[in-house]
Structure 1
């Protein structure tokens, strides 16, 4: 039987959140208004919302 690799189940979402953060930071750095700023807000807001959800909100339940 082949051993099951746990790379993607373990590191999939952290990699996605890291890429989203990097895209948001680059977009905020190089944009000058308009869609670039909106992209930066969304890409930087989603990881913050995930951290709030798993850090504060989920702990209370």
Structure 2
């Protein structure tokens, strides 16, 4: 049960951590990857807010 509840938040945390590390580690492609990875939590919040309204 707990695995189902915490699967998505843990995945978002892992993607965010990878994005932060890639932003610190390099330039160019790493910057693009970090922007994509760090936009995942923002997209998740926007999606949750829209889903809650309907």
Q: Give the TM-score taking structure 2 as reference length.
A: 0.86
Cα distance per residue 1:5-43 (max 9 Å; x no partner): x121011111000000000011111212x2101110111
Return 5+ residue gaps in structure 2 as ranges: none
**CA RMSD of superposed structures (Å):** 1.1
Higher helix proportion, which one?
2
Choose from 10, 29, 45 the match for 1:15. 10
Structure 1 residue ranges, 4+ long, deviating more than 2 angstroms after superposition: none
SS in 1 for 2:22: helix
Structure 1: state its 5+ residue gaps.
Answer: 1-5
Higher relative contact order, chain-length normalized (CA < 8 Å, sep 6+): 2
Instruction: Determine which structure has more spread, i.e. the larger CA radius of gyration.
Output: 1
TM-score scaled to structure 1, two decimals?
Answer: 0.78
